[in-house]
Structure 1
Amino acid sequence: MTRNVFVVGMNDLNAERLRRLRGVEDVVFHPLLTSEAVSDTQEFDIPAMLAEAEATLDAFDGSIDAIVGYIDFPVSTMLPLLCKKYGTRNASLESLLKCEHKYWSRKVMAEIVPDHTPTFTAFDPFDDDALSKIGEADLRFPFFVKPIKSSGSRLGFRIDSPEDFDYAIAAFRAEIGQISEPFNYVLDQADLPDDIKAIEGHYCMAERVIGGRQCTVEGYVHEGEVVPYGTVDSIRYPQVLSFFYYLYPSTLPRPVQDQMNEITRKVMAHIGYDNAGFNIEYYWDEVQNKIWLLEINTRIAQSHCDLFEMVDGVSHQQVTVDLGLGRRPDMPKGEGPENVAGEFFYRVFFNDATIARAPSKAEIEVAAEQVEGTRIASYVARGMKLSELPEQDAYSYAVASVWMGAGKQSKLLWNYEQVMKRLNYEFTDIVE
């Protein structure tokens, strides 16, 4: 019997990945909303998106067996609403918001794993006394600020001085409405405690600066059982906050990974999150031998799909689809062609610039052919402004991503250098 799985924001690349999963011979994948509508945009009209998705589902002449997604906001927050209406499996909206609402999430962490939770407070960026109130919460320079709901590393700033805070506040006031207004719509659909209701979508978080070697634990919960299945290292460019590459499997010591997995089980069980994938970002301060929990994301990391396929033999979208269909995920280990895999981010560190030259499709294909199995995604075109790119961090722009595998990490880095020698980007009107 054919089973119908609707995938929010499915594009051609992910449709190919999905067809390569295990146990999907009798599954038909249907796109639900376009990738352009939910991902390649900075406008998030959630009521309109939900109405369009519901119209598609209502018009479908067949069973609706699962509704899934692998994209951050707004998809992650729409899925519980759609799944509840159509009777398909997913985490509850309230358990999801205990992860996605960064203030609520920190409060939960402070209850259950206080030794791994930094000092934090919420603040209103439209309050002229916000900085002094942050100080009253026992936070001193340096600290980190971010929205209570963000996407990627957008609008995240390290604050070392009042001038840094003023710069961040100006950015929050100018841009936070793009996220806060649609997030408030989602919050209005949930049963929230009074103290969380008071922290509306436009609020921000201030937190003690934490650091060390960063990684992401990918996991899922199936019928109450929390299962971490892989750890990916997040390696930054020297001296900046921007990511250089993701590396799988992690090179962290096994006891450190085991402790992170135990923290993961404890936190996710306490939250009551169930029948969905997630990932948790951590730091390991190796000087203090201290593990810090950074944040919880309520979806698999799309960036890690190719890494798992290269090393383990299948994209971890296996987790998303199996859970949506009510199955325990059939996630293999070490069955891929490579020992290690990475996603590299080619970045430029300008405030803005115009792209004077970008590699052609043919040039990208030639570059990818330098190392078998390499995939390259270029995000810019001639004449574009860097500031037009969606979902960028506050310190750089990612103009391309390169996914590749190798037998060991040193070879992986060497391969990346060979590929990038074939790609030529040029910029003009540079704002340093």
Structure 2
Amino acid sequence: MDHRNIFVVGLNSFNRERLEQLRGARNYRFHGVIEPEEVYETDFFPIEDMLSRAEAQLRAFEGPVDAIAGYMDFPVSTMLPLLCERFGTRTTSLESLLKCEHKYWSRLAQREVIGNYIPRFTAFDPFDDRALSRIGEGGLYFPFFIKPIKSSGSRLGFRIDNPEDFTAAVKRLREDIGLISEPFNYVLDQANLPQTVRDVDGGYCMAEEIIGGWQCTVEGYVYQGKVVPYGIVDSIRYPHVLSFFYYRYPSRLPEYIQDKMRELTDTIMTHIGYDNAAFNVEYFWDEVQNRIWLLEINTRISQSHCDLFEKVDGVSNQQVTVDLVLGKLPDMPSRHGEFEVAGKFFYRVFFVDAVVTRVPSEEEIAALQQEFPGTLIALQVEVGSKLSALLEQDSYSFALAYIWMGADSDEALEDNYRRLADKLLFEFEDVVG
């Protein structure tokens, strides 16, 4: 049998190792397109140049280009439809993807079919000196949340409780929003957009009613028009802050709430016209009001969840993406893994800033991974790292390490993490000047 050539944008060693363990992987050859540091370790995304270089690499390949895939958010997610169209490979359309990733267009589409499950919202220009009053004219009052029309992770997202908060947040937005808005606008220029959306480009922001509760993510895919949610992951935050503590799979939400979230997911993804690609949808369940809120739609699997599915179900959900790009119906197993529950923990500090002077050694990490079987520790800093210079951080803390663990119960999972975290030794010194 001939091998199938699958090109992965931003392929790194971490993902290559996982991909080569998937079912059927002996029949595949995985090739990287665009160096991983260009999408993982930078705030600079020259997307037009990246697309040009990716196309040149693919055309120079001596063999068939059977599939093009990716697991990252912007810019990788938005590059895929453009590359796949040029090479005739499978993915969803650019317009259906943008109905998920352009936060204003996404809310407009959601309001058409599931309006009772989304917050009040309005778009605003952060460079407009009257932006705050215009937000009020749109029916939003303190507190509310603001974020760019297109962002990555929790970057440049702020809770606004008063005018001073808004002033400080807008200052940050004006300084940094161009890093994503300029390349995102290039992508928008390639799409067929309604005028109401074209008028709200990547330089705009969203203001939304505050929503909250039990947060979770529905992982799913669409294959030939059929929406298939295959797992729900809980997102648990540190007390009293917005920063994530850990992701837990499977969800402990009441089954009727999970069923409703699956139904809402089917409705919105069908309405958008998303097809032949993976996705995940983030929700809140407000337990007090017994109300579900849709937070946002992501046009990819979550890399953070790959190890969780592998530990509990037996296969990383990267299997879904690979099957889809090859035109196959995904076949995710259920509960065939080694553990009953799994989590990805975020080891964080809540400093204003600092410089890292010590990190756990390779020997210390290896000993902890042996002490807690199934554990994977991935440091996000090194000696000399300045916390404020770290990429992909939220606005309130810094993640020093990611820790994936499995256990036989929720209680054992958290207990194991706390015992492990007590043995992870980092040291810091104050930033001078």
The TM-score with structure 2 as length reference comes to 0.98
Shift of 1:130: 0.2
Letter in 2 for 1:175: D
Give the match for residue 14 of structure 2. Answer: 13
2:382 and 2:13 mapped to 1: Cα distance? 20
State how 1:195-234 maps to structure 2 within 5 Å: 195-234=196-235
Shift of 1:61: 0.7
1:78 alignment partner, SS class: helix
Give the match for residue 37 of structure 2. Answer: 36
Stretches of 4+ moved more than 2 A in 1? none
Q: How many residues align?
A: 431
Shift of 1:430: 5.7
State how 1:7-156 maps to structure 2 within 5 Å: 7-156=8-157
Contact 1:22 1:330 in 2 (8 A): no
Letter in 2 for 1:50: L
**1:422 and 2:412 are equivalent in the alignment:** no
2:261 and 2:152 mapped to 1: Cα distance? 23
Residues 205-237 of structure 1: CA distance to partner in whole angstroms, max 9, x if unpaired? 000000000000000000000000000000000
Shift of 1:365: 1.5
Give the match for residue 248 of structure 1. Answer: 249
CA RMSD of aligned residues (A): 0.9
Give the match for residue 396 of structure 1. Answer: 397
2:371 alignment partner, SS class: coil
1:131 alignment partner, SS class: helix
Residues 315-337 of structure 1: CA distance to partner in whole angstroms, max 9, x if unpaired? 00001000000000011110110
Contact 1:69 1:75 in 2 (8 A): yes
The TM-score with structure 1 as length reference comes to 0.99
1:365 and 1:192 mapped to 2: Cα distance? 51
2:412 and 2:16 mapped to 1: Cα distance? 30
Residues 356-413 of structure 1: CA distance to partner in whole angstroms, max 9, x if unpaired? 2111222222222220010001111111100121111111111101001000110001
1:306 and 1:52 mapped to 2: Cα distance? 31
1:187 and 1:97 mapped to 2: Cα distance? 8
Greater mean deviation of Cα atoms: 240-249 or 347-356: 347-356
2:406 and 2:33 mapped to 1: Cα distance? 31
2:14 and 2:376 mapped to 1: Cα distance? 11
1:296 and 1:119 mapped to 2: Cα distance? 17
Shift of 1:24: 2.5
- Aligned-pair identity in percent equals 63
Letter in 2 for 1:212: G
Give the match for residue 314 of structure 2. Answer: 313
Contact 1:7 1:30 in 2 (8 A): yes
1:235 and 1:379 mapped to 2: Cα distance? 20
**1:269 and 2:270 are equivalent in the alignment:** yes
1:226 and 1:187 mapped to 2: Cα distance? 26
2:415 and 2:277 mapped to 1: Cα distance? 37
Greater mean deviation of Cα atoms: 151-160 or 346-355: 346-355
Letter in 2 for 1:269: T
1:260 alignment partner, SS class: helix
Letter in 1 for 2:271: H
1:369 alignment partner, SS class: helix
**1:257 and 2:258 are equivalent in the alignment:** yes
Give the match for residue 412 of structure 2. Answer: 411
Letter in 2 for 1:255: Y
Contact 1:368 1:419 in 2 (8 A): no
1:196 and 1:305 mapped to 2: Cα distance? 33
Residues 96-125 of structure 1: CA distance to partner in whole angstroms, max 9, x if unpaired? 000000000000111110100110000000
**1:188 and 2:189 are equivalent in the alignment:** yes
2:26 alignment partner, SS class: coil
Contact 1:150 1:179 in 2 (8 A): yes
2:189 and 2:392 mapped to 1: Cα distance? 25
Shift of 1:421: 2.2
1:184 and 1:196 mapped to 2: Cα distance? 12
Residues 121-159 of structure 1: CA distance to partner in whole angstroms, max 9, x if unpaired? 000000000000000011000000000000000000000
Residues 161-208 of structure 1: CA distance to partner in whole angstroms, max 9, x if unpaired? 000001110010011010101100100110100010000111000000
Structure 2 unaligned residues grouped into runs of 5+: none
Letter in 1 for 2:102: H
1:351 and 1:427 mapped to 2: Cα distance? 12
Shift of 1:422: 2.1
State how 1:344-383 maps to structure 2 within 5 Å: 344-383=345-384
2:334 and 2:287 mapped to 1: Cα distance? 27
2:379 and 2:201 mapped to 1: Cα distance? 36
2:261 and 2:23 mapped to 1: Cα distance? 28
Greater mean deviation of Cα atoms: 300-309 or 16-25: 16-25
Shift of 1:351: 2.1
Give the match for residue 329 of structure 1. Answer: 330
Contact 1:100 1:298 in 2 (8 A): yes
Counterparts in 2 of 1:430 and 1:287: CA distance versus 1, 3 Å: farther
1:17 and 1:394 mapped to 2: Cα distance? 30
Letter in 1 for 2:406: G
2:354 and 2:175 mapped to 1: Cα distance? 20
Structure 1 unaligned residues grouped into runs of 5+: none
